Every structure is written in C-alpha cells, then in structure tokens.
Structure 1
Amino acid sequence: MADFDAGTEFDRQVQTLVDLGYPGLAGMTDTAFRGLVAPLRGPVLARAATTQPPTGRVPFLLVVSRALVPLEEAVPLTTLVGKSSPGVIERFYAPGELERFVSLKELEVPEADVYVAFDIDRGEEFCGVVPLDALEAVAGRDRTPLTIEEGVAFITHYPQALAKNKCFSLGGSRLGDRRVPALWISKGAPKLGWCWEGNPHTWLGLASAGDRGH
C-alpha cells in the first residue's frame, strides 16, 4: 500500500471545501472557515493512518453539517470523476421532506458545524443485500451507517467513491419510515435519492463509519 500522510490529506480536504465555496455558503470568510475547521486537525493526526486504505475506504472525512451549509446547496457541488454535471436531489423527496431525514440518535453524531468521521467504507460488499440485513451486519461489526451529510462529504472529497455498480445507501439518516437515503449515478451526475429498506439492488451497497469526533 502507498504511504499516507494524514496532515496533507486534512489540508487537502479543507482546501477542497474552500475551493468549492463552502465558506461563502456558510456566511463566513475563508479565514474564519479555516479557523472553524482547524481544531479538528489534532484529533485527526492523533489517530493518523500511515498507509492508504484500499479502494472504497478512506481514513477520515471532514463533514459539514446541514446547519452550516444546507444539503440543497452542498449536493450540487458534487460531481463524478471526469464529469462536470452537478449533483442533484431526486424529485421524489417532497418539498421540505429532506430536512426531516435526520441522523439516528444512536450514532451520537457530534453537534458541531464541522466534525470528523473516521474509517469510512462505501460498503460495496452489500450490493445486492437487503438494506435491513446490511444494517444488521454493519452493527455487528461495531460500525454505524453514514448519514446523508457524511455521504455528501464522501463524494465531495473522494468523487471516485461513487462508481458504476458501486453506489451506496446512507442508513444513518432516517425519517422513521421504510425509506433509506442513498447516493447513486444518474445522467452523468451524483443523485441523492432513497430506496426501500427491504428492497435489494445489485448496484447499491451500504456505507458505514468506524466512529466520529470533533
């Protein structure tokens, strides 16, 4: 495996967010935004990986909360590798409904404007598996499903994570019904949609995280 430098990767992710215009969307200057994120560098370096994980896994993600930058503004900033079409939100989310898909309490997602999710796996092994069964398997490994914000962060920092037949559900955000949010590819762009928790799809796995910090 290739060597991995967590500090360099942290700086790259910060720069990616700045380049995409996150500070402006958050009503902040670039300097203020960098100052907001800077305290996360310590926790990241404290548990730094030294080797680059295999494809489909990443050591950490800087996750911006929807309270700071709404999903409706963050999703269009995502693109596929080599493509320029902006990410879209599936029309079958009713107006205002997306905001009601919130993180599960048991995930203990940090109540912070920006936080870190560690040890991310897009979960391609769960392609073709019923989401409910995938969620049970993930829980059995002391891991938790990604939230919508974490999924958006995943493809923002690693556009290559969203690939043909290797898309993923985001079971960490739920509305209390049978729908599970998911990210897939449509018309050459990322799309945030949802699928039923009891329906398997050959092209849809279940993404998960090891833990979170702030």
Structure 2
Amino acid sequence: MRPTRQLHRLLEAGLADITGSSAAELAACVAMLPDEPRSVLAVHPALAAARQLAPLLRYRHKSGFVVDDMVDLEQFVPIGGLALPDSPLYLVCEPDRGDDMRNWSPNEALPVIHERGRTPLTVNEGISWLLQEPKALEPNHCFMTIGSRRPTGSTLDARTPAIWISGGTGRDGTARRGAPKIGWCWAGNRHTWLGIASARHRAPFDR
C-alpha cells in the first residue's frame, strides 16, 4: 500500500487529532518519502508517543490500551545502534512478526536479528504496523518489540515491550477481553505465543 493511502488510514484512525498536526502537514511529510515496496508508514515517537497511539488500535471492535503497570512506557526508547529517520513519519520496510523466534527470549533473538541483516521493531513501529495491518495480530500469534528498551544508568531495564491480545484477566478487566494490549515481558524469558518483530530497514535512510 502506498504511503499516501496509509496516511489516509492513520487520519481516519485519528492521528491528526492526537498530534495537533493538520492533514496537510502530515501529507507534506509523506510526500517526501520514497516509494518502498512492502513498507509500513511509521509514526515517530516525537510526533505521537506509543501511549497516544495505543487507543487507535482495533481488534474486533475493541480499542487498544497500555497495561496499568507500564507507567514508564515513555521512557522506553530505541536501543543503542538503532537510529530512527529524522522525520515525523517514515517507512519501516518488510516488517515481520518473527514467528520463527517464538519461544526465543529477546536476549537470544537480538544478535540473530542483526546477523540476518534486520533490525528489531520499536513499540511505536509495532503499533504503526498494526494500524495498517490489524490482522498481523492474532490470538497466540503476537509479538515483542525489542527495539525499545528503558535505559537505567549503564544497563537496561529488564523489561521489553510486547503487543498481544488481552485475555481480560487481572487488572486488564473483563471489559478489555479481546482488546489489543501494550504490555511487557522480561527480556530473558521465552514465550511460545510471542514472536520477535523485525524489519529489513527504515527509510528515508540510505542503505
């Protein structure tokens, strides 16, 4: 899908409302992007944070949400060596849910993703992908976004963001059963139902 059509979907979802940007301003950003096949229009966190984007997600008419105990989501930033294009909207090329890395921990997956010449998705990029392709999120086929981590001095917080479908238990509440959920997992743990999402590259960076 061309970036202009993807922008239309973002505008329909409410991107202009949450950012305070006009449709014309956002269209001007998109007009400067290359036409990359199999790419997704990503929302830079400087334009809209993951917490702002989460409610725009839909799964079977349920709105997305951030788990109650992830109060520091805004502090999860791109990991070292992962640079985002300097553009409010940019392209993430050839995103993949990483099903072949189900039951891998993020710590195990990251070096292999790099060896494959790919880059892990950030939480904003994961949400942006689902805003364009909601069917990329399925029961028992969800994913982690290990390109976002929270620095804690010289180390990283042990959590990594993930996106899955709420079962409506615990603090989620039954009303949220079946809703897209931005939560977290331990970076050293494995989950049979969570892949490790990645992309080929980002544009407009030169490759």
TM-score bracket relative to the smaller structure: 0.7 to 0.9
Q: Provide the residue aligned with 1:54 in structure 2.
A: none
- Paired residue secondary structure (1:33): helix
Structure 2: unaligned runs, 5 residues or longer: 151-155, 167-176
Q: Distance in 2 between matches of 1:25 and 1:108?
A: 24
- The structure-2 alpha-carbon separation of the partners of 1:112 and 1:9, relative to structure 1 and needing over 3 Å to count, comes to closer
Find 1:85's aligned residue among 52, 55, 62: 62
TM-score normalised to structure 1 length: 0.84
Find 1:61's aligned residue among 19, 32, 40: 40
Q: Distance in 2 between matches of 1:26 and 1:33?
A: 10
Find 2:163's aligned residue among 183, 192, 208: 183
Structure 1: unaligned runs, 5 residues or longer: 1-7, 49-58
Q: Distance in 2 between matches of 1:197 and 1:93?
A: 15
Note the C-alpha offset of 1:32: 2.2
Q: Distance in 2 between matches of 1:168 and 1:12?
A: 25
Note the C-alpha offset of 1:132: 1.3
Find 2:19's aligned residue among 26, 34, 48: 26
Note the C-alpha offset of 1:180: 1.0
- C-alpha root-mean-square deviation of aligned residues, in Å? 1.3
Partner amino acid, structure 2, of 1:129: W
Identity between Structure 1 and Structure 2 (%): 38
TM-score normalised to structure 2 length: 0.86
Q: Distance in 2 between matches of 1:72 and 1:137?
A: 29
- List structure 1 segments (4+ residues) > 6 angstroms apart after TM superposition: none
Find 1:213's aligned residue among 200, 203, 206: 203
Q: Distance in 2 between matches of 1:108 and 1:73?
A: 21
> 1:142 and 2:117 equivalent?
yes
CA contact (8 A) 2:41 2:89 kept: yes
CA contact (8 A) 2:144 2:162 kept: yes
